[in-house]
Structure 1
């Protein structure tokens, strides 16, 4: 796996099987031709593995973004959307990141018995090249449920000319059907997922109407394995037929244009060399109680012992912090999570029967983090600023 724009790499041991799941693991980091071995690696539930090395501050100025699209007969609405809206999305990205060379490409795929298997448009700095290619495509073929997803991914991952040093490498996989489930196709999909992770290519599935639960789980797994994000269309979109309810606690409905822009911005954002975190002092206060996702009550002048003993009250300080974050809990909370700005869980803490504990952020890079916990089926969130030491 390659580190992303935030400096993190996610490693999944034995992701496709349970063999040797308790084996001792070690991590090897390769930077500028030099290897660093981390022998006493820990598993996720035991904490994060930090490796600090002296490295030059070099921010890449290239981003490669590919759109891989199921072009079978049921994808008419989705292809029409891309023809009408994608140019606007890419123009906004280019404008917001004028200091980065944003290259785009596209792959369309059908099924093995159709008039073609895959078609591609190579990476280009001119978005018109990609848009014109997409506008020449039309839906057709297919007929059965599975399609040649693995062939589309193979063309995108292995045939497109990805820049090795790109700041971001992203595949938006837009589809409404799974890959074939024969042994050869399954093995190929697994190897392609591993290859994408090895190359640092995030796969972002965008699932449309027609997928079933097993396809949802597969796409979520591919996204996780490649440090991507799972995106799904809902009936609110007006695109395609009815959509299944996603398997998640809660979700926020956004316009697909906004989702594309938000995710690409997220993947392209990186602090400048030696830059500390910029934050709004009115928004970030030293001591807060989390009450829900939107409401924060300032308790700087209130002692925790005087607060009514309600379930789901959490006090955290100092904020911003350079290292130690103190947590005080009122009520019965069983577990708490530390997440990064993309929403990915970094650490889980068992806080059952605890009134207070500490989170040490000393080894984390400067940035924005969140503490989260669940109360009465509702997620509570508090924003934390980790300052540069």
Structure 2
């Protein structure tokens, strides 16, 4: 599972053994103490984030302000010393850069002007507006320059199915029914939308690498809504096409795929070789994962975010169980989904000490 060196994997002249711990694990190395970071680690549980967020205007304004977005990205690194920073941005910058109106309303989440069978793809540009996303890539450059060599920088994007779900429904829905029905009743049009997103997402990720990202993560947040045939058609196949384009340009850049709720589909993902690292949500038994997933690819996860909220003995036992199950192979310690806003800072400190103790 090792990869040749490339422009933003291990630095020029640097061997894998000298690289950041996250890169070493994603190349197949097993470490006694796994590298640690958390999904949504730059966010509302941090008082310094909340203070900056109040000054930023809208959420998208914050995403498109390189100085503020870089500061938010770096806040959890300064506080906790995580082994990776993940770019502060959002998966919906891609439809925004394709011309679909995106806004974030306080207390309501993202709102988009929904695509319909009548509108088709007419509201969308033919390709990603890279100028619209130039501030995002500037954020990547600023963060990479500020990070120490042992802290990896992760860029990311949403998978086409997940992003298309927002684009069709115009919002988050409990079971992605609008997008699923669209895919069933208008498969050619939905396929054209997915194709557009494959191109745009690959372009977005490649530009993040060019700006300094060393690892990429693809979030398939709504994988659990798809039955197996549609999971293969609308999730695995498009993600595979994106990863192929990344590997063709930058074979040293590892790609983590996090398919939340995919169940047995996560095993299929691991066996396919699409991902360099496989994210595990908290519903996956880590002992099962060690036998069926980690034998194929490094794994990342999978602490229940509510165990982190609970803290104390609950958290300690959960951390120890995951490390016991996955410690015999390449493992990146993470949550099974994003950190929750009500998470106490002291519990994150407990997590870091337990993983590294």
Same fold (TM over 0.5): no
Scaled by the length of structure 1, the TM-score of the pair is 0.32
More strand by share: 1
Q: Which has the higher contact order (CA 8 A, sep 6+)?
A: 2
Name the structure where helix makes up a greater proportion of residues.
2
Which has the larger Rg? Answer: 1
